[in-house]
Every structure is written in C-alpha cells, then in structure tokens.
Structure 1
Amino acid sequence: MTKMVTLIIDEVPVEVPEGTLIVNAAKLAGIDIPVFCYHPKMEPVGMCRMCLVEIGRPVRDRTTGELVLEADGRPKMQFGPKLETACTTPVSEGMVVLGTTAKVKAGREDIIEFLLTSHPLDCPICDKGGECPLQNLTMGFGPGESRFIYDDKLQLRKHVPLGELIILDRERCIQCARCTRFQTEVVDDPVIGFYQRGRALEIVTFSEPGFDSYYSGNTTDICPVGALTTVDFRFEARPWELKAAASICPHCPVGCNTTLNTRREARAGGEVVIKRVMPRQNEWVNEIWICDKGRFAYHYTQSEDSLNRPMVRKNGEMNQVEWDEALQAAADGFRRHGAGVLALGGGRLSNEDAFNLGQLAKGLGGKAAQYTHMGGGDQAAQVGVAKGTNFSEMGLETAILVVASDLQEEAPVWWLRVKQAHDRGATLIVVNPRETKLDKHATHVVRYTYGAEAATVLSMVNALSAKRPDLGTTAAKAPAPREIEAVAQAFANAQNGIIFFGSEGLGLEASQALAQACANLLIATNHTGRPNNGLVPVWPVGNNQGVWDMGLKPLAGLPAAVSGAKALYLAAADPAGDDPALARAMEAVDFIVVQELFMTDSARMADVVFPVQPFTEREGTYTNGERRVQRFYPALPPEAFTLPDYMLTARIGRLLGLELAENHAMQVMERIAAQVSDYREVTYRKLAEVVEQWPQVGGRDLYYGGTTYKNKQGLGIKLSPASERGETVSLAWAWPPELRSAGEGLLAVPVTRLYDRGNTVLPSKLLGARIPSPYIAVSPADAGRLSLQDGDMVQVRFGETGAATEAPLPAAPMVVVRVDERVPAGFVLAPRTMGLPIFEPTPVEISVVERAAA
C-alpha cells in the first residue's frame, strides 16, 4: 500500500504519495509553481531554476528523534538558507513549502530577467504567441521592465531546419533541454542534442536525414517557447484564429486522440483548411503524444486529386453524372444480381459505415467481408485486454510479448508505451525473425524462421501445458526447446501478461493461426479477463477491429471469392491496385461499384464510382486494437457532391427497399447497439464522457504539460472481452499454411513501413522526403550470391523462382535494392503499400535493370 505524506504548501494542507515531487504535489492541490525545464512525463533536471521555493522541514531531537515543538505546540521548522528547486525535491512528512514570499518572488524575477536577456522580442510574429509559457510566466512572475541594454542583445540564426519537419529559432531557445530529453528518455531517438557552451549553446541534429525520428513533432508541443515549430504551422496562423475539432487518428490501430486546428483562408479561395494536427490527451490511449505520420499526413483529406463527383460507365467510358442517376445505377445492378453481391470493406471505414455495408449485403442475400491481409478479430473479442487496462501502469509485475511485429513501424505510440513499460521494470519479450528497434530494450529476444510464427508461440504453450499439439514440420523452424522454456516461464510467472501480435511476413491464414496460438498462450498462463492482461492485434489500418466487430470478416481464398461474385461492392478497398491476381478476378465480375476517396485501380474498373467524405468532414466512431470505441467529429465543411460512406450505402439501400439508418451517424450507432451485443452499452453521449487526467495540459496549464489539447470531447468506451464477462474461453488449434518453397531462389515476405506510398500518405506535402521509393531488402549473403549491390535498380516478379538474371522480366515492378544485414538469408523483405503486389510470402525472381553508381 502506498504511504501517504502530509505537508503544507502556501498554507494549504496537501496529502500525496511518498516520493511525489513538490511541483507535482502543488499542482494536485491547484497551486501553480512555474516551470520551464520540468515536464511531468520526464525525469527532473532542475536546469531553469524557475520553480525555486522556500522549504521548511520539521526539526527533530538528534538524541530521541522526536519532533521539537514550539511554545504553541506546533513543530519547529528549519528553513534552508537558500531557495530550493521544487521540481527535484520530493515531499516529506510535515514539510512546509512557501512559494509566494518576497524572497521567492525576487528569485523568479531574476530567472525571467536572465532568460529575456537572450530572448528576442518576437511575440508579435512568433508562432507560439498566445500559447507561450514564457510569455505567460513573464507577465505573471517577471520584473515588468528590463535593465538590459538593447544594443547588447545576442543575435543568432532564426531559421535553422533541423530536418524537413521541424524548424529551430536559435534566438528563442532558453536551453531547457525538454526536446533533447524527450528524444533520449521517452522515445530513445537521441538524434538532437546540445552543442557548444554558454551563450553559444545550441540544439543540433546528429542524424542523416536531420531530426530522423518518428516523434519529432512532439518536441514542438513541449517546447516552452517558440524555438521549435513545425514547418506546416510556422508563420501560418495565430492560435486564437484557429477552431478546434476533436478527432481520432485513422492511420494505425492505436487510435490516438487528436485535435484538428482549422481556419478559413483567402489563399484557399475562402475555404476552411487544416492548419495543424495536435495531440489530444487520453492517458489510456496515447497519453499526450502522437507520431509524425498522424501529425503530418493529413493533406490527403483536402487533396486536389480527391474524387468529387459520382461517375457511371457508359459505352465503356466513365462519365460524371448526378447523384440520383448514380444511385439508381448502383441499385439496379445490385438488384439484378441479388445474392451474388459481394461487399468488401476496408479498415478506413468507420463502425457506422461497416455496419450499413453489412446490412445492405445481408438484405440482398449476399456476403459482406473485410478487405485485409490480417486475421485475429475473434480472438481479440474473446481474450483481448480487459477494461481498466492502461499501459502507463505496467511495470515490474507485467510481461509483454511482441510477436511478428516491427512495432515502431506498425504502431509507433504502442512502441513508445511498451518501451516505457520496460523502463519501469516490465519483462519485454520480442519474438521476430529479424532485428527490430525494440530488441535493444528486450529482456528476451527470440528468433524464428519466417513461417514458424504460430509454431514458436505454440511451443511456448507446450512448455507450460499438458495439452501438447504436434507442431509438425514447422517445429524445425522454431527456436530450441530450452530457449522457449525460459521465455515461456518468464511470461507465465508474471502477474500480468500482454501479447501484441502483428502480420510481419504473414498472410491471412497464417496470421489467423498466430492469433489463435497467442490466445492459447494467454489462456494457458491465466492472462485473460483481468486489467492489463490479454491480446492486442497490431492491425494494418485504424479500424480493422471495428469493421470485424460489425460482422465483416476477411475471406480466405479471396481471388476465388471475387471471381465467383456476380456483383462487387468495394468500400475503402482497392484489390485491383494491390494484387494482380485480384485484378484478374475482378475482370470476371459483371458489375462493380466503388466508393472511395481517390480514383484507384479498382475504381477504374468499376461501373459506378461514388466520392465519399474523409474522416475530417464527417462524424463517426473507430474501435482501436485494444477494442476501445472512440468518437471523431467533423473539422471541415463537407465537399459538395460527396457523402459519408454510411449515408451513401443507406441511400442505395433505400432504392432497394431496405431501411438502413442514414440521417446521422448517431442513428446508425443506435442500431449497432441494438444488434451487436458487444456494443450494447455504446452511445454517443457515453463516448463523449471525460474524467480529470494527469498531467494537466493545455490552457492555463500549458507551461506544465505542454500545448497538447485537454480532452473535453470524450475518452471512449473500452469493450469487455468474453473472458472478462465470465464466458468460458478454451484452447483451440489452428495451423498456418506451409510456405511455398523457393527452391534455390528467394522467398519474399511482406513487411510494414510507417511511411508507405498509400493514398493517405503520399499526398502529404511534408513527408515526401521521408517516403522511400519502392524497394526490396536482401541479406548481404544473398546479395553476394546473386551479384546484387545496394542501390541496384531491379525488376521483381512474385510467384516465380530462379536466380537473378540480367534480362528484365515483363510487367514486373521496378524497385531499388537495399542490402540489409538484418534480413535473414533466403528471404526478401517487400514493404506493403509500396506498389509491390504482395499479400503473403511468395517466391520472387529478381532481374537487374541498372547497376548502382560506383
């Protein structure tokens, strides 16, 4: 049980846990102690001295140890001769803290004056103006006038690009080290640091490219001055001109809470545009952080290439038409084919979109499925993490297993939170066929050969359980039994156990088998049905879990299912652009309807194409990988001639005699609550409920926690898995398909990159330099064997075997070769959504087109 300590701060009695720093104790009591360098998410350093206070401690008799009392019976207090830093001093029983005395005020005035001697008077043009801690604290604690001679003012460079995304103004920097400490302590990317000494001290970048981190934008949120700004917001707007809309990042399964800042601009023809994306505090999901993809990859929502009119194919050509004609054409085609309709929905869809899509297919007697390469949604519903789960609380009593996932590339904020849990003492087990950045923090690292993902996890079950399935030929690809037993025991011995599983090198059936193997391990170790225990799928897209919960499950043998359909209804799915086999299958389909943001390859094959609204223009809900349902709100006026997906589907349904909810997303959620049992308690009102969170951020607290927005729009609703509800969840066995042999050639395996070339990332005006050209990665051994060099331009054909040749293969993607020692011999890493048609491991043939320059 935590020991509590009682003290007095500015005559206010305060009771806090032992070890609490004075600055935090004061904040909990509603007392502001100003800070610049201190941040509640990082270790204290006491650099800025702004938090100086007088501290008195009870005097004790050296002989007896008893308190020495004054004549009136109160403890005698001994105050130190100097002011002390509240950010580095923990509380103690009976302590008295004074933060408003003349001595304290004089000390704070001196600190402010010292800082301003090196700070420019930029407030009228500074991007931080209006939300600047230095500006606010100068008004509250500064001397009121300066004794410094203006002609002696220090002048430094004011526009220093630390990279493509972050700009440094050296004159504004107060050397608090918040940015460098964040990069080193919090995210383990020490790519910026201090250089020189004294007034010449400056922030520099050590990486190439500059400030090479997935989390760089967060440094601008915690910077207490205008020294660090993002390139999209610098000199673009003032904070008080902006409107704020609460949203949810759609790019990955973390579901980070964000705020979209918008403004109407003359430069945009009077349209409302997004000026920046800011984090919104949710300590259960993303704390106060977001990754740079979530922050900067928003331009696709207002891209000039977005679809803006319905289209119908007439005489072989696509023609823009009015909505009524396009809706009628879609309805007529679906009515004609009835039960032959196959609807495919992707993870971009909201829960409301997916529900209506499924209802339409059901009403026609057809099928609705999710378009994804990953399985595991049922296992997440059975043994997913329970209510009350919070990664911020995980430490010594927790074991975290990450399998088949390069977590930083697939879900950066989860990587951050797992890393921090390990810093607090959690046992971290990384199970992957190649090295990832998480390895350096792992307690245990387990290597297996691609294809043995499920067998490796099942061998851990075998080490702990009497039920021992035969692992067959895959057992030879799994690690040695002694290594597995040690890791299995480490996981089993922990009080709490979490498993993250991804789709590194996996197709649908293999990932489904891995999900079941992970569920078995959780069941065998009793890590189900309790907070901070359970399964977390690392989905490829933000709402894969929600779409699955709406009843849209992926189909095995998708090409056969597509070619066997009479009509195809695609929403947020581009099978033709992803896989030539699916494109060929679509050629056999009589009628195709596509609703999309852009003119995709599938849309080019369609008979009817509908433009839909991005998440920034409509309302709805997403369900993240932890199965937390969260609500997002519109930030922009909807484009004319576009509709949200759920409304579009409902209008087609109306013409078919189906009564689907269409007036508002809230109406659709009411039907979801009535028909999907796990969502029966979900309402838009409950989704908007909030509670007080720690640390306090934004508003008058921005000097303390940063400019992250305080969450006033809802923390979401965590769904309970079946195991938490007391339902029996038993062991089950699923086996992945055998990998096709590559013979003497190479086997290509799909992997995930954060910055891909998908249509939600490529339009970014900021991330272009970070988005790589299409490439494959090979091991040094295979590069030597096949005479490949780093930088060679090659063509690749998937599904064929053979060694590299000098003759180009027809109709094969052209990519760059990367020689990477982290790639296992015999395999080629092929990033998904990079223009490479790969959904699952497959043999690959490589032909050299152009040699790299010497």
Structure 2
Amino acid sequence: MSDQVTLTIDGIELTVPKGTLVVDAAKKVAVDIPVFCYHPKMTPVGMCRMCLVEIGMPMRDRATGELLREADGSPKLNWGKALQTGCTVEVAPGMVVRTTTEQVDTAREDVIEFILTSHPLDCPICDKGGECPLQNLTMAHGRGDSRFDFSDKIKLEKHVPLGELIYLDRERCIQCARCIRFQDEVVDDPVIGFHNRGRSLEIVTMSDPGFDSFWSGNTTDICPVGALTTSDFRFGARPWELTPVASVCSHCPVGCNMTMSTRREAVSGGRPVIKRIMPRQNEQVNEIWLCDKGRFVHHFADDAERLTTPLLRKNGQLTPVSWQEALDVVAGKLQQLKGAAAGLANDRLSNEDLFAFQHLFRQGLGSHNVDLADKRMGGGDVVAQVGLSSGSNLLQLGQGDAILVMASDLHEEAPVWWLRVKQAAQRGASVVVLNARATRLDRWAKHVVHYGAGMGVETLRQVLNGAKVLDAPAADRVQAAGQALANARNLVAFYGCEGLSYAETEAVAALLGNLLLLKDADGAHRAGKTNNGLVPVWPRGNTQGAWDMGVRPDAGPGYKRVAAPGLDAAAMYAGAASGQIKALYVLGADPVGDGLMAGRGKLAFLVVQELFLTKTAELADVVLPAQSWAEREGTYTSGERRVQRFYQAIPAVGEARPDWQILLQIGERVGLGKPKMAASLVFKQLAAAALPYNGMDYRTLAHVEPQWPDVGRDDLYYGGTAYDNQSGLGQQWAAGAEKGNVALFAVPDTGAAADGLRVIQARTLYRPGTLIARSEMLQARVAQPAVWLHPADGAALGVADGESVALRVNGQVIPSPANVNEDVSAGIAVVRGVTYQAGSIHIEKMKEVA
C-alpha cells in the first residue's frame, strides 16, 4: 500500500503522506483552515469546531469495487450530510475538500459568535492584541454585529496568578484546552486542569507552589487568546512596538533557538530593553519550545549591578579608569609576568571569546596555561570522533532505536533533550537509564539500572558486556539493558557528570565510544551514521565550544595537541596559593565564589573580566566590564556540535565591551598586531584554525530552509505559537567517524573508589549562580538545600525521613531536610541547592540546640 495519498482541496490536487490530517494537508497548498483547539504538536481533539469543512469521498460500485463516475468521467462523490472537523479527519485517496462554502462560512460565523458571548472586549488592553488568532479570525469570519444580551454575561476573575510566572484571565479563556493538553501530553507535567462545568468552567493549578513546571511559559505562546500571560510581559508593550531579534540560549548544552523582543523604554533613558523572549523554530534543536529558565533568566542583562566601566585598584580600592589605562596595565603586567601567567575561562562564553582568550595566551604570551575554571567533565576528544552524526534529529528516533542516558538528570540539566528523549520513548524507542539515583526519565525508560557508590564505570562495563555479576534481579536488568543497546537499529548515548569524577567521565566517554564503534547487523559502525552517536550533557552552554577552541592546556583549536602542555585548572589554583602562578586572568568565571579558589593566594596580579562584581572580582587588581550575550553577536556550539549564531538585540550597558574585543585589544598591546574588530572576522579566524569549523562563516550559519510544521506568525493558522526561523538553523560539524575509520579508545584507569558515603551534587535547572541571582522572577524557583539518603545510610547517621541534617561546607553549617528513601543507592547521598567542591562537604545529624 502506498505511503502517499492524493486528494483535492479547493480545486487544488496535492499528494501528502498517509495519515496527514486535512487541516495540515491544506496548509501545504497555502489554504488556512481556521483552528483554535488544534495544534500540530498535540493530539487533535476537535473541541472548538472552527475547522469544519465539507468532505466528499469517491463512490464505488458495491459489487465490483470500481469507482463510479459522472458523465464527464470525473469520480462521483458522496458528500457527507454534516460538516466534518478538518483537525481530526485523515486524508484519503480521492478525497475532495471544500473549505469555503456557504455552509462552512455559516458554521464558522456561528462558532465565532458563540465564543464571543463569553469573551470580554479587552482588545485595547490585552497583551495578545495584534497577534491574537481570535482577533484575526473574528475579523475574517465573524459577524459584523452582535446579537448577545450583555446583561446575561457571566463575569469571572481576571488577573489570577497561577504561579509566580503566569497570570490567568478567566474571562478571556475560550476553553480550547491547549495549555492543559500541552502540560499533560507534551511535557508530562499535568499541573493545571479544568474545574467546574458549563459556563463556569475554568482553569486551575493543581500544584503547590502554583503552576510548578519548567515549561509554563510555553502555554502563553500556544494560548490562542490573551488568557495566559507572563508576569514580566503583562501590560508591558504592544506586539507591533517590538523588534524581534534572533538569539540562542546559553544556559545549557541544548542551544535552544529563541527570539528576543525589544523596545525602547523611558525608564531606561530611551535605551532598548528585552521585553520578552519567545521560541524560534528549529525542529532539529528545540522545535518550538523553551524551558522557563531560558525564557525568563535574561533580566540579569539589565540588572542595576552590571559593571559599566573598567576598575583599577589604587590605594587598595577599585577605582573607575579609562579603557586605555586599564588595558595598558593588564598588557604590561601580563608581559612582565608571562612566564608565570595563567588563564581561566567560563564555558558559557561564545566561541569568539574563547578562541581570542587562548590565542592571547598561546600566541601573545607563549603559554599553554589555559583551562576552564570549573572543569567537571571530560570526554571531548571522544565526542570529536564519535559524536552525534551531522544531520541527525532526535525526532526521527522511534521503534527499533535505543537511547542511553548515563549519569545525568536530563530533566534538570537539559530539559529540551529530556523532552525529545521522552517523545522518542513514546514513539517506541528503548530508553536505557544508568544512574545512582531515580530521575524523572525513569518513568519512560524500558531499562533502569541504579548503581552504587563508585560503581558507575563498572556498571557501564557490565551493561556493555551483558555480564551477570550482580545480585540476580540486578543482573537481569543489566543484561536486558545491554541487549537493548546491542540490538538497536540506531543508538544515541547521552552521558553526564553527576556523581562521577573527571576521570570517571573520561572512562565513560571512552566505553560509550567503543560501543558506537562496534559493527551493527549490517556490518557497519554505528558511529558516523545518521541518528547515531555520543552526546555529552555538558555542565554549561558552550563547553563543547571550549573544547573546540582549545581552552585546555594540552591542545589548541581543532584538537591539535601541543608538545609541552601547560597547567590545568587544579594546578593553577594550587599555583596561585603557592606563588608558582604570579598572574591570573579570569574570564567570566567566579572561582572564589564557587569555592574553587581560596582568595587570591600569593598572586601578584589578578584581572577579572565579568558582568558583575563577583567575589573574585572584588579581589582583583583590574576589573574589565564585559557585554552580555544580548549586547553583541557571536556563536555557540551545542552538545550535538551544532554551531549557531546569535545576534545583538540591545545596546551595551555603559562602557562594556565584547569579551573577544577586550582580549584582542590586549593582544595588540602584547605584540599580536592590529586586530580586525568584528565578530564575523574573529569567527573567520577561528574557523581557519579549528579544522572542524573549516568552511563555516556567518553566512553559512544563517542558512534557513522550510520547516514543518509551518509556524509563521503572519497567518491565521498558527499565529502566536512561535517565531519562524529566518536567521539561521546552524551547522553541525562532522565527527571523525563520518570521515573514516576511528580506532578504539583506551579506557583510562579511574582509581579505587573512596570508602564512606559518596556525596553527589544534583545539578538543578535553577541552581544558585551569578546570573540567576540577578533574575528576580526566578528567585522563588532557585533550588533550596535538600538531601536524599538511602534508608541504610539514614540509619547509620541516625536520621529519619523528614528530619534535618547539617551540611558542613567550608566551615559553614547549612540545615537541610533529609529525604530518606530508596530513590538513591546505598552509600550515596544526593545534595541539592548547595554549591561546593568535591571533598569539601560533610553530612551530619542536626544536633539539638539547647
């Protein structure tokens, strides 16, 4: 049977895949069938009846099965007595659809009239005005007058806070259930629902705190009216006053595409500010969704505490100075101390920033002492060879495929990846989860293996070998998980660093790399094939870019090994304390505030380049004000190795400059020659230096192509859902296995596991940090301290479920509630909401205070 169906819509013949809904088929030939409840990312429900159409089916002779034909030879059609909902009817061979007849027009007019009997005339003050599907469809299909007796109108509550981020206007709600279905069906977080019946039907929140979901902002996008609005955009601007600018989220390794809407504000002195952030469609990355952190954390960019001018320590005080004086001092000190200089960077910065940073040290100062300030996770060299193949799309994984997730809570660390893995499981993919504790993905996994303290690498070995060396039930799970991976048609493996040391993450990456290099049933390596490969769940948004750019002591851009490696971050911190390191350049990081460095030690010179006066910046000799990502352009590289471009949305705060520009200006002063001051030219330079980026430029990164579903905001069909992508879909660089054979990886020795309770730091979406601390909207969601213990460990500590424990971190005592249950393995304690470094935390029973 053919997988394609030919039909006719409004006289236009077209062919579409079998199973296509009439409403989607019509869109293919630019016919907009109006909808309210329907959404292409959700199961159709046919609630609103706005999509009613006339459908005729070819008639056949009952005896012979032959088509009956009219006198002119055309098929004889059987037109249904009733109109049918275009959002629930699938196309059929020979089907004829009429979307604009007198009967259809009357039905649409009636639906609009019924909706407006309960809808307020709020258009002049409604946030949705100007981009409202109800407004658009009323103008296109509504009556020119009203027959409703307004004295009979039921009045409901307005401005109801469902939570701290979302407001509900119950009068505006047209009961399409898009928001409820999204939370339940798409993101598996059913925290809102309908309450009451009839004209008193209303949406309520069923969680405490209210609307407690990572995805709440998406409901305002898909709401076809102004019933749901965000607390930061509510009454803030009219859509036609806004200027949309394409950007990319930098807060996790997914690299979600977004649009920043800006407008000049009087309170900002006429300076444009970000009024809201909405999704920008990229079906290979985030589809049309954003998590709430990516949507709301941007307020740090306009925080009053932003650094606006260079600061130089004079007479013990940080004093504002000119850029020339600050740069002269930095360049002079670095040259003077270049034999003992080192640099630490944050992996949330752009590729241009990171390339310029290592270039300054390597070419300007002759030093390989460059590294990431918080180096938690390894395996980048393996990813470069067997990473997710270019052209892959998680949306294509389903029956017969397998996805492995190890040492990562995707829901907290990379929410959109969690969403896409969950969707793959719903399509039939076998999801295998290996972790030391229960995570939200366990519900969707076919195979779950929880390992004990220090057993992560060994458990992975057992899974890959199918070995039966544990207790019988566990061994069965291990073997079943291994078989699911071995038998998969396509295999994607995610790995993180939760509960693993750096060496252990290197070993995990190597083992998974070797798994992907095994030959499948067709005799070919999975590595290098589309929809196969390794995906690192990096701890920050551009860790992949940092590996690519050579922000490491043993390799430069493009993974080119250096003959004499420099010091890594741990050695730098020790060197700063001992005096071996004399000058330290900290780029966008706060090692003192993060507990990585105890003060400035014996440093002779400390320069910090930052957005805010952090704990490290307070100790610096020079502080250089940098621009936020919203104030300049650049690129990020996601964990899937997709290089994506972001654009400038707002002007710089004060005298702040792009990080790469500051670094180039210092480079000029240390003898690197006059720089070319454009982000595009820096990218051109890094693309030439880093082999995987060869051939890329800002033009290729801006390439776009048609996507489905069509979410254009200028029509009546999907208006208000998301911005279509006119600014670039990004470009994945090819992993080594796509170009030729790759040798098996040596698995490094991880050493013996330490005795005693192993404390795991649970990475949370709203973890405390410099940027989220400046986003007032998200303060209520910042993770509070909490501890999870296995019952055996709770008994050993004398702690029962619900009691408090004392967390001792660097001499500070933090009271935390204890959750004692079997969600964690024995020998492991999971700590959330506390920033600490390995070995610096201890858990004790909270002593009673006399």
TM-score normalised to structure 2 length:
0.93
Q: What does the per-residue CA deviation read over 1:748-775, in whole Å, with 9 as the maximum and x for residues that have no partner?
A: 2222010111011121121111113344
1:593 equivalent among 592, 596, 607: 607
Counterpart for residue 301 of structure 1: 301
- Cα contact 1:813–1:836 (8 A) shared by 2: no
Counterpart for residue 527 of structure 1: 526
Letter in 2 for 1:608: V
Counterpart for residue 49 of structure 1: 49
Counterpart for residue 198 of structure 2: 198
1:370 equivalent among 366, 369, 372: 372
Please give the residue correspondences for 1:112-511 in structure 2 after superposition, counting only pairs within 5 Å.
112-363=112-363, 364-366=365-367, 367-371=369-373, 372-463=375-466, 480-511=474-505
Q: Closer, same or farther in 2 for the Cα pair 1:476/1:610, shift >3 Å?
A: farther
Q: Closer, same or farther in 2 for the Cα pair 1:31/1:686, shift >3 Å?
A: same
Counterpart for residue 802 of structure 1: none
Counterpart for residue 828 of structure 2: 827
Query: Partners in 1 of 2:516 and 2:763 — Cα distance?
Result: 26
Query: Partners in 1 of 2:673 and 2:460 — Cα distance?
Result: 46
Q: Closer, same or farther in 2 for the Cα pair 1:337/1:538, shift >3 Å?
A: same
2:706 equivalent among 692, 698, 719: 692
Q: Closer, same or farther in 2 for the Cα pair 1:150/1:613, shift >3 Å?
A: same
Letter in 2 for 1:830: V
Query: Partners in 1 of 2:845 and 2:430 — Cα distance?
Result: 44
- Cα contact 1:382–1:729 (8 A) shared by 2: no
Shift of 1:494: 1.0
1:760 equivalent among 756, 771, 774: 771
Shift of 1:339: 3.1
The percent identity for this pair of structures is 52
Shift of 1:90: 0.4
Q: What does the per-residue CA deviation read over 1:755-802, in whole Å, with 9 as the maximum and x for residues that have no partner?
A: 11101112112111111334444345544543446776654335xxxx
- Cα contact 1:39–1:705 (8 A) shared by 2: no
Query: Partners in 1 of 2:644 and 2:174 — Cα distance?
Result: 38
Counterpart for residue 468 of structure 1: none
Secondary structure of 1:297 counterpart: helix
1:583 and 2:577 matched: no
Shift of 1:820: 4.6
Q: What does the per-residue CA deviation read over 1:101-138, in whole Å, with 9 as the maximum and x for residues that have no partner?
A: 10100011011111111111110000000000000001
Query: Partners in 1 of 2:384 and 2:765 — Cα distance?
Result: 26
Secondary structure of 1:288 counterpart: coil
Between 1:312-321 and 1:73-82, the stretch displaced more is 312-321
- Cα contact 2:588–2:609 (8 A) shared by 1: yes
TM-score normalised to structure 1 length:
0.93
Q: What does the per-residue CA deviation read over 1:675-718, in whole Å, with 9 as the maximum and x for residues that have no partner?
A: 11000021001111101111111422363364311111101111
Q: Closer, same or farther in 2 for the Cα pair 1:20/1:625, shift >3 Å?
A: same
Query: Partners in 2 of 1:598 and 1:166 — Cα distance?
Result: 29
Q: Closer, same or farther in 2 for the Cα pair 1:556/1:329, shift >3 Å?
A: closer
Shift of 1:562: 4.8
Counterpart for residue 29 of structure 2: 29
Q: Closer, same or farther in 2 for the Cα pair 1:477/1:640, shift >3 Å?
A: farther
Q: Closer, same or farther in 2 for the Cα pair 1:844/1:811, shift >3 Å?
A: closer
Counterpart for residue 801 of structure 1: none
Query: Partners in 2 of 1:603 and 1:777 — Cα distance?
Result: 34
Please give the residue correspondences for 1:601-616 in structure 2 after superposition, counting only pairs within 5 Å.
601-616=615-630
Query: Partners in 1 of 2:247 and 2:230 — Cα distance?
Result: 20
Counterpart for residue 637 of structure 2: 623
Letter in 1 for 2:686: I
Shift of 1:60: 0.6
Q: Closer, same or farther in 2 for the Cα pair 1:705/1:265, shift >3 Å?
A: closer
Number of aligned positions between the proteins: 824
Shift of 1:145: 1.4
- Cα contact 2:759–2:829 (8 A) shared by 1: yes
Shift of 1:256: 0.4
Shift of 1:197: 1.0
Query: Partners in 1 of 2:849 and 2:692 — Cα distance?
Result: 56
Query: Partners in 2 of 1:702 and 1:733 — Cα distance?
Result: 56
Secondary structure of 1:569 counterpart: strand
Which ranges in structure 2 are unaligned for 5 or more consecutive residues? 520-524, 554-567
- Cα contact 1:449–1:478 (8 A) shared by 2: no
Shift of 1:662: 4.7
Query: Partners in 2 of 1:264 and 1:767 — Cα distance?
Result: 24
Secondary structure of 2:846 counterpart: strand
Which ranges in structure 1 are unaligned for 5 or more consecutive residues? 465-470, 799-809
1:770 and 2:769 matched: no
Secondary structure of 1:298 counterpart: helix
Q: Closer, same or farther in 2 for the Cα pair 1:384/1:702, shift >3 Å?
A: farther
Query: Partners in 1 of 2:496 and 2:849 — Cα distance?
Result: 35
Letter in 2 for 1:512: E
Query: Partners in 2 of 1:9 and 1:119 — Cα distance?
Result: 32
RMSD: 2.2
Q: Closer, same or farther in 2 for the Cα pair 1:303/1:617, shift >3 Å?
A: same
Q: Closer, same or farther in 2 for the Cα pair 1:354/1:44, shift >3 Å?
A: same
Shift of 1:552: 1.2
Q: Closer, same or farther in 2 for the Cα pair 1:561/1:28, shift >3 Å?
A: farther
Q: What does the per-residue CA deviation read over 1:242-275, in whole Å, with 9 as the maximum and x for residues that have no partner?
A: 1111111110000000111111111333222211
Counterpart for residue 548 of structure 1: 547
- Cα contact 1:722–1:729 (8 A) shared by 2: no
